[in-house]
Every structure is written in structure tokens, then in C-alpha cells.
Amino acid sequence: MRESTLRDVADLAGVSPRTVSNVVNGYARVTETTRAKVERAIAELGYRPNVLARNLATGRSGQIVVVVPYLDTPYFAELLQAVIPAARKAGYNVLIDQTDGDREHEAELIGRGSRRFLFDGMILSPLGLSQADLSIRDPALPLVVLGERTSDGTFDHVGIDDVAASTEAVGHLIAIGGRRIAAIGDQPYPTGEAAQLRTRGFRAAHAAAGLPVDESLIISTTRFNRVDGATAMAALLDRADPPDAVFCYSDLVASGAIHTALQRGLRVPEDIAVIGYDDIEDGRYGRPTISTISPDKKAIAQLAVERLILRIGSAKPVPGIELRAPHRLLPRQSTLGATAE
Amino acid sequence: MRESTLRDVADLAGVSPRTVSNVVNGYARVTETTRAKVERAIAELGYRPNVLARNLATGRSGQIVVVVPYLDTPYFAELLQAVIPAARKAGYNVLIDQTDGDREHEAELIGRGSRRFLFDGMILSPLGLSQADLSIRDPALPLVVLGERTSDGTFDHVGIDDVAASTEAVGHLIAIGGRRIAAIGDQPYPTGEAAQLRTRGFRAAHAAAGLPVDESLIISTTRFNRVDGATAMAALLDRADPPDAVFCYSDLVASGAIHTALQRGLRVPEDIAVIGYDDIEDGRYGRPTISTISPDKKAIAQLAVERLILRIGSAKPVPGIELRAPHRLLPRQSTLGATAE
DNA sequence: AGGTTCCTTTGCAGCGCTGCAAAGGACTAT
DNA sequence: ATAGTCCTTTGCAGCGCTGCAAAGGAACCT
């Protein structure tokens, strides 16, 4: 049985196809009588609008794409969990892409490929692309960037204040008695802006407390995974003068670091305190629970979607701005000890 | 500047639009000369095919939707991670939906809604829908179901052999000396088929070893989360006769259960051995590392996508079949002790 | 009553592509 | 040279909807 169309409904209801369209879209003023007739016909035929045809006619796909490096990284999974309902509520479907942090893949997505027609806008969490790379994108693509790049004025950027958050995290380590504090996760190269902001906060907190920074305690990692944390922690503990506290640039790193410390028979936080970043669910269930910086993921998602939709809807170029979502310091057992939650 | 169209390319190359289409799609036989001319024109104009128009003309969207209950559950995140590349390779884009396990939401998706036009087929991991509910779907929707439902002959089903896997898991607990074995995660109601298969394996392993099943050691939970495992474990340990081993129906449950046991000062596995299910990444990094059943997620994704595409491409109804992906028992520290990896 | 105004409904054209089937051309066989 | 064959290229129509602007009608005013 053929799918019924707008024209079928129009014929049955005795009105023009355009009027049916008006009813379906809640457009314009349609009299109650007409509306009722049309709705009856729709119900009778089991009509549903063909989105594909609508897309062609309007030149819009009604979809946005969210691009993240990894889907199975809890932080991104939790973020997506927040983005999808926000977009859905605004009438958009969400396409998801993962790039594995691959620069080429990311570049292709922001370039002018054929897939461009499939989405009206993009929320991008770049990893392989440097700040400079972002400027080579298709200028007609409405774009909101998440994470730690900064806007160049042609797209929006949503993130938390990483420097402030990192300063708070390290300040907390100092407050609970940390004196030789390590940092795990620095990335001193162009695509590592995210990490570098955290390192800046690390230094700021030391400065604020009048503590010197031992540069050798700042450990670089290429990624933010458990294994990176585990490896870095092992190196730190092999030193003659190991740290008494560690600021990890993600909760996964913290989880790996704690794992190593415990394996070596150290107590966390008594022998070495650890704080992470991201507030992923895991951190609330490990042993010890992981102190962390909690970015407000719902706020990030909401801001990103709102702003993107505004950008999509606007005929003239919208100036790119920086949007800040709130964050909180969440001290847990890995800094406060077993008495904490 | 207007986006250039097939017609623009045709004019520039001095051929008909249809020929350009043939070149773009690699269709039919096109002579080298013609192809070269067209390709030069395409490059010169920066032409890219309008997918929206193609969708309308072909009646296909080139998208499949993957529906999971939760995106931030590691198992599903890892599964999606495998599905997306598999679909992409086959030329399909992936839409993702999360249902929160809500029956209504799931029912809406398999019904005949307007979104139907957006995808050519669906890979569904149902949670709220019972086996019976599945049969009320839009019969024209190509569907592949993941998890523990069974095919009713109108759709395909991909999963591992849960009964066998569970039997192996519990067999392993018995092999390492477990005698009073608990199960956490049973769901003795219609939507709990998944859980019930595992319970069946639990019984089968006991039978095979000639051990009696203590029914009171089979704990039901509504979900498969850490908190469920933690709560159930607490109840088990409060008993006068606690178990010496636990089969958890997911790694998250296992993680929660281990957390509780450790908090009470018990050693895992010396005092109580624990095995999980799913082989999520977390399980490899906790302390102890979690023994588990590892479903071959790549195989599941591959089978599901292949089969769905076959179903989409076929004019006549394809009989629904059961497809089995392999699984492995992965013993780790939570059953073998600290000497294991 | 005639003219205006305002609101509802309509008709037309076209979004850019592909399916279909036929036209055109080159080549082979008789 | 003519007919037949085969391969490449083309023209047409239409996928189902919406933007635009105008037509049609009712209500209101003078």
C-alpha cells in the first residue's frame, strides 16, 4: 500500500494541498472547520509528512551533528547524553560522529564535503585540530566548538573556565596539605590547548599559595586515558622524591594514577592525594571515590544547542562569542580520605 | 555564491545532467573522455551532490538509526563505537537515539512516526519493550534487534549465547572453589528476558556441577548499574550465611558489588569472588580487575549492520533469523587473585 | 450599496536529483 | 551498402513538499 501524501489528504478533505501543509505545520491562520476536516482526513489515511521532501523544499535537514573524538570516553558519552535531549526538544535530530581525534577526519568534517547537506549545524569537540586549523573550515557551516579552543569570532565556543577550575583543584590539594604537587596530562604542543590551560591553573594556584613549581613534576601525556595516568604515576613514584599530591587532567587519568598508587601499597589520599577532572560517573564509585572538577554538562549542552540553533536560524553572520558554563569543585575520598562520601 | 548543481556541471561540461549523475554515482558505462570532462567541471565548480535531493528522488535517507537505552552506559557506548564505523563503511550515516529504557519511547520509535523517513533501518537494543511489544511495530521497518530478545521471524536478532556464556561464568566460579554462589541482576518479569537467560545459565552451571541452587541467593535488580550491585551486595553480606562467590549480570553491577565488599573489609576474591558480564573498559582498570564475559562487540556490530543493509536492500520480506556473535570468558583478578593481570 | 480591509485559501513553480526507457552513434555482420 | 547489435548518452517526468504572491470571501466602514 502506497504511503499517502499531502495531495491524498487534500483530495479527501476537499481542500488544497497547501492548506493541508498549513495545518500540518501549524502555520498561519486556519479556521477551526478547515483544520478539523484536514485532521480527520489525516487520521483516516494515516498520513505522515515526508521529511525527505520537506528537507529538499526547505533546504534544511533538521539535523545537527555532534562530533566527538571518542564515544566510549565517559566524559563524551555523558555530554552526548545531555546534548541529544536538548536538540530533540528544539526539533532537531542528532547525528553523531567520532573522529578518534584524527586531524584529517576532523578537517574533513568541517570542510565542504557532501555530507554537509545532512546537517544544518555542527557541535564539534576537536582534538586533532589546532586552533589554527579551525579557521580553514567551510565558512557557511554554523559551528559551535566545545572544549578548550577559543573562538576566532566566526564560531561560538562553549566551555568552562579551565584556568579557574584548575586553580581551584590545585588550591584544594594545597589546602589539604599538599606541598609537592604533580600534574599529569600536560600537552605542550599546538593541539594541546586544553591541557595547557590546566597547566596554567596549576601554576596560578602555586603562585597564589607562594609555593614553588617543580617543573619536573609536570608530566606530559599524549592522551587522557587510564593507561596514561597509570604510566605517569609509576614514573612519579619511581623518583627519589615522589609527590604528595597529584592533579590529573581527567578522571580517567586519575583513575589510572590511583590504580598504580594502590598497587604499590600506597594509601590514597594519606600517602598521596589525587584529584581529577570531568566528574564522570566512574569517579563516584571507585575506591577511593575521586575528587574532581565537575563541569555542568547539561549547561554546556544547553548553551551549545541554543547558540547553534540561533546561528542556523540567522540569515546574516552571527558574531562568534565565548560562552561559559559553570563548574564545581567536588572533593571526595581521593583527597579527603575515607570519611568523605 | 549559490551552491552549484548537477545542471551547472552539465552545462559546463557540455553533457546532459543525467550523464553527470552517472559519473557522480559511478553508474553504468561512461567513456573515459566523458568522465574526464565531467570530473574537470565538477572540480572547477566545487560541485557536491545534494544529498537531500537524492534522498527525495530515491526515497532513501542513507541513514540508519541505532537505538540504545543509555548512551553513557559503557557497554552501549562501546557498542556504538563499533557500529558507527561499520555503518559508515557501508555508506550509511548513523543516527543515535537513547530511550532511557522507556517503553513508550521505544514503542514510538518502532511505530509509524514521521521520523521513519529519516532512516532506512533500525538497530534496536530494547529495554522497556517486551518480546510481545516488538510485534506491534511498523512492519515496513527493517529492524535488527540486539540483546536478549528472540526473533519472531519478521526481524533479525544478533546476540551472544547468553545461556552458554552465563553457564561458563558460573562454571568458572565453581572451578575456583565457589560453593555458595549468588547471582545479582535477575529480572523475573516480561521485559527481563535478558536477565532470565543469565539466570538460566546460572542454574545450568550448578546442575552441571551437581551443586544445589540456593534460591535466596538470586537477587533481583531493576537495572544493571553500579548502585544496584552495591545495594544487592550489601544485602548479601548482611546475611548470616553470605555467599563465597557472586555472578553479576553486568560489569557495572560487579563494580558496585566489589566496591561494597571492599568497603566492608573483605578481600576479593579471597573472601568473595566476583565475575561480571560485558567486558567494559573500566573492568580492566579497577582494583581488582574484573573477571567477565566478553561479547565480541565488533562482531555484533558487523553482523547487525550487514544484516540490516541486506534487509533494507531487499524488495521482498527477508525472513528473520538469529545471529550469534562469539563471546569469551575472561578471568581476571576478581576471581583469580592479585597474581592475575 | 459600494468600496476597503483583512483574513483564509489557493495555484504555481521549483528544490536537485534519479528511474525509466528511448534516442543516438559506432561498430559488426551479411 | 544495409540491417542489426550493442553501448553510451539523453529527455522526460516526478519524488512530496514549501515559498511566494495573488485570488477569493467575509466583514466592516462610509
Maximum Cα–Cα distance for chain B, whole Å?
Answer: 88
The footprint of strand C (CB < 7 Å) covers A 15-19, 22, 28-31, 33-34, 56-57, 59; B 3, 5-7, 17-18, 21, 24-25, 47, 49-50, 53-54, 56-58
Average pLDDT over residues A250-268: 92
Chain B interface includes A226 (CB < 8 A): yes
Q: Which residues neighbour A299 within 8 Å (Cβ) at sequence distance 6 or greater? A: A325, A326
Average pLDDT over residues A83-95: 92
Minimum CA–C1' distance nucleotide for A20: C9
3-state DSSP of A192-226: HHHHHHHHHHHHHHHHHHCCCCCHHHEEECCCCCH
Q: pLDDT tens digits, residue range B193-211? A: 889 999 999 999 999 999 9
Question: Cα–Cα distance between A162 and A159 in angstroms, integer?
Answer: 8
The separation between CA B82 and the C-alpha centre of its own chain, rounded to angstroms, equals: 9
Minimum CA–C1' distance nucleotide for B28: D8
Contact state of A52 with B61 under an 8 Å Cβ cutoff:
yes
Contact state of A56 with B55 under an 8 Å Cβ cutoff:
yes
Average pLDDT over residues A83-89: 92
Q: What's the pLDDT score for residue B28?
A: 63
pLDDT at residue A27 tops 80: no
Question: Cα–Cα distance between A308 and A295 in angstroms, integer?
Answer: 20
Of A24-33, B26-35, B258-267, highest mean pLDDT: B258-267
Judged by average pLDDT, the poorest of B28-32, B90-94, B252-256 is B28-32
Q: What's the pLDDT score for residue A194?
A: 86
**In sequence order, what E strands does chain B have?**
63-68, 93-98, 121-124, 143-146, 156-159, 181-186, 218-220, 245-248, 273-275, 292-295, 322-324, 327-330
Q: What's the pLDDT score for residue A285?
A: 77
- Using a CB-CB cut-off of 8 Å, the residues of chain B touching A97 are 84
Q: What's the pLDDT score for residue B240?
A: 95
pLDDT at residue B177 tops 80: yes
Q: Is B113 helix (H, G, I), strand (E, B) or coil?
A: coil
Distance A264 CA to D24 C1' (A): 87
Tell me the pLDDT band of B335, cut-offs 50, 70 and 90.
Answer: very high
Nearest to A290 by CA among A75, A68, A72: A75
Q: Is A161 helix (H, G, I), strand (E, B) or coil?
A: coil
* A-chain residue closest to B62, CA distance: A118
Tell me the pLDDT band of A336, cut-offs 50, 70 and 90.
Answer: very high
Q: pLDDT tens digits, residue range A260-284? A: 998 899 999 999 999 999 999 888 8
Scan residues 17-46 of A and list those with Cβ closer than 8 Å to B. Answer: 46
Tell me the pLDDT band of B272, cut-offs 50, 70 and 90.
Answer: very high
pLDDT at residue B219 tops 70: yes
Judged by average pLDDT, the poorest of A92-96, A176-180, A305-309, B181-185 is A92-96
Minimum CA–C1' distance nucleotide for B37: D9
Scan residues 105-134 of A and list those with Cβ closer than 8 Å to B. Answer: 112-118
Average pLDDT over residues B25-40: 84
- Percentage with pLDDT > 70 across chain A: 100
Q: pLDDT tens digits, residue range A143-176? A: 999 987 777 788 999 999 999 999 999 999 999 9
Average pLDDT over residues A176-195: 93
Mean pLDDT of chain B: 92
pLDDT at residue A211 tops 80: yes
Average pLDDT over residues A185-191: 91
Q: Which of A5, A66, A96 to mutate to test the interface with B (most CBs of B within 10 A)?
A: A96
Question: Cα–Cα distance between B318 and B155 in angstroms, integer?
Answer: 8
Q: What's the pLDDT score for residue B101?
A: 86
Q: What's the pLDDT score for residue A28?
A: 63
- Using a CB-CB cut-off of 8 Å, the residues of chain A touching B93 are 95, 115, 118
Q: pLDDT tens digits, residue range B275-331? A: 999 999 888 877 789 999 999 999 999 999 999 999 998 878 889 999 999 999 999
pLDDT at residue A54 tops 70: yes
